[in-house]
Amino acid sequence: MYQPTSSRYQDMSYRRCGHSGIKLPEISLGLWHNFGHQDSFETARAVVFKAFDKGITHFDLANNYGPPPGSAEENFGKMMAADLRSYRDEMIISTKAGYYMWDGPYGEWGSKKYLVSSLDQSLKRMQLDYVDIFYHHRPDPDTPLEETMMALDLIVRQGKALYVGLSNYNPEQTMDAVNLLKQLGTPCLIHQPNYSLFNRWVEGGLLDVLEREGIGCIPFSPLAQGLLTDRYLQEIPADSRAAKAVFLKEDRVQQMLPKIKALNDVAQQRGQSLAQMALAWLLKDTRVTSVLIGASSVAQLENNLGALQNKTFSTEDLSRIEAIL
C-alpha cells in the first residue's frame, strides 16, 4: 500500500490558475504516453507516486490516452482505487474529449452527445465520481460552438466536473468560447496549448487573450516530446518515443539536432540539464500556470523537477537562446 511522504508540499510552488480559486503545481504530470496497457504498470505507478510525493497534485488525462485508447484512464483508475482514494481531495484530475474515441458519428469532435457520453465513460474507467477539469480537446469546425459550450456548462452543473478548459483553440476561437462560457455562468478555467522552445505559436496572441481574460495556461509537450532533453544527443534510443515513430519521427530528431546540441551547451553553462532549462524557460513567464510534462521513468521526472531550482535567465542567456532558435 502506497504511503505518500509527509514532506510532499515542502519543495513545490503553486501558481494561481488565472483569476480562479485554484492553484496548480508549477509542474504537472500528463499520462498521454507511458501509462497505457502496452506500458509497464509498475513503472507508471512509480512515476505517479513519485510525482505525488514531490507535490505534483495535478494529473492530466484524456479519453483516448493509451494505447489502446482509454487504457491510461483505466490504469490511473486502478491506482486511484487501490492507493490514492484517500488523497482525492488533494488532487486535481483532468480529462478531455474531442479526438476519435469510438466508431460512428458520436465518437469524436464536439457534440453534446459525444462530450457527455465520453465523460461518463472516463469517470467509469478512472473509478471517479467527478473530474476537476474537463476539457474540450480540439475545436470542432462543424458543431455550433454554442452546443459544445452548453455541454461543458451542463457537465459542471451535473457535478461531473468542477471546472472546464479548452485545448488547441486559437485566440479567436478561444475568445468566442470564453464569451459563451461567461454568459452561461461557467467560466473557462484554463487553456492547454502546445508550447515549448520549439513551438511558440501562443506568443502570437493566445497568451495575451488568456492574461486579459484571467484564464490559466498549461503548456503541453513542454519538452517537445523529448527533443528538448538529452535523450537524442548521441543516438535514437530503442525505447524512446522517436524510435516508436508514431507521434515523433526520426527525421524530426535529425532536423532539430543542431539546435538541440546548441541549447544543451547553454543549459550546461547554466548548470542545468536541457530539460530543466526548457521547463524553466516556460515558467519564467508568469502567465504560464504550470508546465505539463510527460515522463517514461522516475529518473526523468526527478530530473525535470530540478528545473524549479533555477527559473531565472540573464539577458545574455535569453539572447543566446533566441539566436539559436
Ligand X SMILES: NC(=O)c1ccc[n+]([C@@H]2O[C@H](COP(=O)([O-])OP(=O)(O)OC[C@H]3O[C@@H](n4cnc5c(N)ncnc54)[C@H](OP(=O)(O)O)[C@@H]3O)[C@@H](O)[C@H]2O)c1
Note the residues at the interface with ligand X (CB under 6 A): 30-34, 60, 137, 167-168, 192, 220-226, 229-231, 240-241, 275, 292-296, 300, 303-304
Which residue, 22 or 224, is less far from ligand X as judged by CB? 224
137/320 with CB nearer ligand X:
137
Coil, helix or strand at residue 70: coil
Beta-strand runs (E) in the chain: 14-16, 23-25, 27-30, 58-60, 92-97, 131-136, 161-167, 188-192, 216-217, 291-293
Q: How far is the CB of 148 from ligand X (least distance, A)?
A: 15
Taken in order 246, 229, 14, 19, the sign of the CA dihedral is: negative
Q: Distance between CA atoms of 52 and 87, rounded to whole angstroms?
A: 10
Q: Name the strands in the sheet holding 92-97, side by side, starting at the edge strand that comes first in the sequence.
A: 216-217, 188-192, 161-167, 131-136, 92-97, 58-60, 27-30, 291-293
| Closest approach of ligand X to the CB of residue 244, in Å | 8
Nearer to ligand X, 99 or 106 (CB): 99
Q: What's the closest the beta carbon of residue 102 comes to ligand X, in angstroms?
A: 18
Closest CA to 108 of 74, 132, 142: 142
118/168 with CB nearer ligand X: 168
- Closest distance between ligand X and the C-beta of residue 219, in Å? 8
Of 180 and 227, the one with the shorter C-beta distance to ligand X is: 227
The smaller minimum CB distance to ligand X, of residues 237 and 319, is found at 237
Is the CB of 60 or the CB of 320 nearer to ligand X?
60
Q: Report, in Å, the least distance between residue 299 CB and ligand X.
A: 7
| 247-279 residues labelled b (16+ CB within 10 A) or e (exposed) | ebeeebbeebeeebeebbebbeebebbbbbbbb
Q: How far apart are CA 301 and CA 224, in angstroms?
A: 15
Cβ(56)–Cβ(28) below 8 Å? yes
Compute the least distance from the CB of residue 84 to ligand X, in Å: 17
Please, what is the minimum distance in Å from the beta carbon of residue 192 to ligand X?
A: 5
Q: Do 59 and 27 form a contact (C-beta atoms < 8 A)?
A: no
